[in-house]
């Protein structure tokens, strides 16, 4: 569809509720806007997913910021079926003098990446794999992952692929997943900041396309208590300063290089503390349960989908080199977590492991729920927090994790999330899933 009006570009930021918010400017004004950005305000960091603001919050009613678009993070496509193009640019929040604002999660990710590189010479290559439900597609029943399951939604999948391609997201595959009316979309690995920007674009483009089909795409971690969970699997690997992949070492167990192993050990050590940042809603904890192929213990495994850190497969067909394919996925994440903050937390935790030169964690096989307490302890398996309040307690209790952030940022995050849990305290799981299904 075309329109004779001048299209708008959204300058956006993604907040602690993982909601992408922003301000729109005329396309012809974007270059000018890039210098000083658009207005933003501190208290927006305390916005809940319920269109309310936590009160009291550390920010109050005063204060102003600027949201500066990063023109390299622009996603534009005419293919969502809307009257005007989908056009968004991710931005960084700064103070009025241009200095980075301590509550900007995109900046937090950039800083974490710089610190990792300064300390170790490593850069992160990442990809976000998203699962979602089309909640009200009204589809005829179909078998899981079947040809028919994807075709019944036609032309949704090819339209999504085309829109993501045009937007520059570099999609890889769109599939019908295991769950009823569940789909998955992946993108090509990229530098970590680009990957997080792509995660934002994927969520919004998918939702917009579904909306234009008269449906609702929901990335909620559980669309119903018994539904198959919607995970966000964050894939990561490392390159050195010469761009050489350094995650793989065939001489090590599972092919995990010593450096990548130290990183993984750091992630597992701080996993209970960072879970609230990567799985940030009440319903997230209905997903993080054993036997649901999500994540439930501080567990590294070679190609096991129950693990929190899973070494992904590499393909050697035709003599292909595993080194560049080799990556690990962090599975304790979902789309109620801010992608920048999620990846920043994983990188910071991994950096702790590298700085402490931790040994690679053991590769665990088997079912932790069938192990004795002593067996689990021997393998370092700790159950992840089982509720959002427990995850917030674990966050606050890990002074290493809280130390990565400004105290007022932690105060804001914990206050926001405690408010979210308290607000839903009287509801049963089915009602809570219903609510998140419409919000995400
Ligand atoms: N749906 C599962 C989750 O909640 C993941 C299934 C898979 O491995 O793709 O994370
Ligand atoms: Mg999947």
Instruction: Return the pLDDT at 136.
Output: 84
Give per-residue pLDDT as tens, 277-305: 999 999 999 999 999 999 999 999 999 99
Residues 6+ apart with CB under 8 A from 7: 26, 27, 84, 85, 87
Decide if pLDDT at 2 tops 70. Answer: no
Distance separating the N- and C-terminal Cα atoms of the chain: 27
From CA 315, how far away is CA 322, in angstroms rounded? 7
Ligand nearest to the CA of 330: 1
Q: What's the whole-number average pLDDT of the chain?
A: 97
Assigned token pair, 296: 């439930």
For ligand 1, mutation pick of 127, 128, 129, 131 (most atoms within 8 Å of CB): 131
Assigned token pair, 180: 């009823």
Burial letters 305-338, b for 16+ CB under 10 A, else e: ebbbbbbeebeeeeeeeebbbbbbbbbbbbbbbb
Half-sphere exposure of 124 (CA within 13 A, CB side): 31
Give per-residue pLDDT as tens, 376-412: 999 999 999 999 999 999 999 999 999 999 999 999 9
Band (pLDDT 50/70/90 cuts) for residue 372 is very high
Instruction: Return the pLDDT at 319.
Output: 95
Phi/psi of residue 314, nearest 5 degrees: -120, 150
Written as one string, the DSSP assignment of 172-227 is: EEEEE-SSTTEEEEEE--EEHHHHHHHHHHHHHHHHHHHHHTT--EE--S-SSTTS
Instruction: Return the pLDDT at 3.
Output: 54
Q: Which atom of ligand 1 is nearest to the CA of 179?
A: 1
pTM score = 0.97
- Percent of the residues in the chain that have a pLDDT greater than 90, as a whole number: 98
* pLDDT average, residue stretch 87-110: 98
From CA 380, how far away is CA 224, in angstroms rounded? 32
- Whether the upstream peptide bond of residue 155 has omega within 30° of 0, thus cis, is yes
Assigned token pair, 37: 């950005």
From CA 376, how far away is CA 368, in angstroms rounded? 7
Give per-residue pLDDT as tens, 296-333: 999 999 999 999 999 999 999 999 999 999 999 999 99
- Ligand 1 mean position, distance from CA 279 (Å): 14
- Ligand 1 mean position, distance from CA 294 (Å): 5
Q: Whose CA is nearest to atom 1 of ligand 1?
A: 229
Q: Which atom of ligand 1 is nearest to the CA of 177?
A: 9
- Ligand 1 mean position, distance from CA 26 (Å): 40
From CA 428, how far away is CA 282, in angstroms rounded? 11
Phi/psi of residue 183, nearest 5 degrees: -130, 170
Give per-residue pLDDT as tens, 22-32: 999 999 999 99
- Ligand 2 mean position, distance from CA 196 (Å): 18
* pLDDT average, residue stretch 130-138: 91
For ligand 1, mutation pick of 130, 173, 178 (most atoms within 8 Å of CB): 178
Q: Which residues line ligand 1 at a C-beta cut-off of 6 Å? A: 131, 228-229, 231, 287, 293-294, 305, 331
Give per-residue pLDDT as tens, 204-231: 999 999 999 999 999 999 999 999 999 9
Give the pairing of strands 86-94 and 8-14. parallel
Question: Distance of CA 396 to CAs 278, 280, 390, 400, 417, Å?
Answer: 15, 14, 10, 10, 12
- Ligand 1 mean position, distance from CA 171 (Å): 18
Instruction: Return the pLDDT at 135.
Output: 82
Domains in the chain, CATH or no CATH each: 8-103 (3.10.20.70), 108-439 (3.30.590.10)
* pLDDT average, residue stretch 51-55: 94
Length of the chain measured in residues = 440
Band (pLDDT 50/70/90 cuts) for residue 4 is confident
Written as one string, the DSSP assignment of 262-308 is: HHHHHHHHHHHHHHHHHS-STTHHHHS-TTSSS--BS-EEES-TTSS
- Ligand 1 mean position, distance from CA 231 (Å): 5
């Amino acid at each position: 569809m075309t329109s004779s009006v001048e299209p708008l570009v959204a300058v956006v930021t993604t907040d602690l509720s993982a909601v992408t918010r922003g301000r729109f400017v005329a396309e012809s004004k974007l270059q000018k806007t890039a210098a000083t950005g658009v207005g933003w305000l501190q208290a927006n960091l305390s916005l809940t997913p319920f269109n309310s603001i936590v009160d009291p919050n550390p920010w109050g009613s005063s204060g102003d910021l600027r949201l500066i678009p990063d023109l390299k993070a622009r996603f534009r496509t005419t293919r969502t079926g809307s009257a005007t193009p989908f056009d968004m640019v991710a931005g960084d929040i700064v103070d009025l003098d241009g200095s980075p604002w301590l509550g900007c999660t995109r900046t937090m990710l950039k800083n974490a990446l710089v610190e990792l590189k300064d300390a170790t010479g490593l850069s992160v290559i990442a990809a976000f794999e998203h699962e979602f439900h089309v909640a009200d597609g009204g589809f005829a029943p179909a078998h899981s992952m079947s040809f028919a399951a994807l075709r019944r939604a036609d032309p949704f999948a090819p339209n999504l692929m085309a829109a993501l391609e045009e937007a520059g997201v570099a999609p890889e595959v769109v599939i019908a997943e295991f769950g009823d009316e569940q789909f998955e979309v992946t993108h090509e690995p990229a530098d970590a900041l680009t990957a997080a920007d792509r995660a934002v674009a994927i969520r919004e483009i998918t939702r917009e396309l579904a909306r234009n089909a008269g449906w609702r795409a929901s990335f909620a971690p559980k669309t119903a208590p018994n539904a198959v969970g919607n995970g966000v699997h964050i894939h990561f690997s490392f390159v050195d300063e010469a761009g050489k992949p350094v995650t793989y070492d065939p001489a090590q167990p599972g092919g995990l290089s010593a450096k990548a192993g130290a990183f993984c050990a750091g992630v597992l050590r701080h996993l209970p503390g960072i879970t609230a940042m990567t799985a940030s809603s009440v319903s997230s904890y209905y997903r993080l349960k054993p036997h649901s192929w999500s994540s439930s213990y501080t567990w590294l495994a070679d190609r096991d989908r129950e693990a929190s850190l899973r070494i992904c497969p590499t393909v050697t067909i035709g003599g292909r080199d595993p080194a560049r394919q080799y990556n690990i996925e962090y599975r304790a994440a979902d789309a109620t977590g801010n992608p920048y903050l999620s990846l920043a937390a994983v990188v910071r935790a991994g950096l702790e492991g590298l700085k402490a030169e931790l040994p690679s964690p053991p590769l665990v096989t088997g079912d932790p729920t069938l192990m004795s307490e002593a067996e689990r302890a021997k393998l370092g398996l700790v159950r992840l927090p089982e509720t959002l309040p427990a995850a917030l307690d674990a966050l606050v209790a890990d002074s290493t994790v809280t130390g990565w952030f400004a105290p007022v940022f932690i105060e804001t995050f914990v206050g926001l999330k405690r408010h979210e849990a308290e607000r839903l305290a009287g509801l049963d799981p089915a009602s809570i899933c219903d609510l998140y299904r419409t919000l995400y």
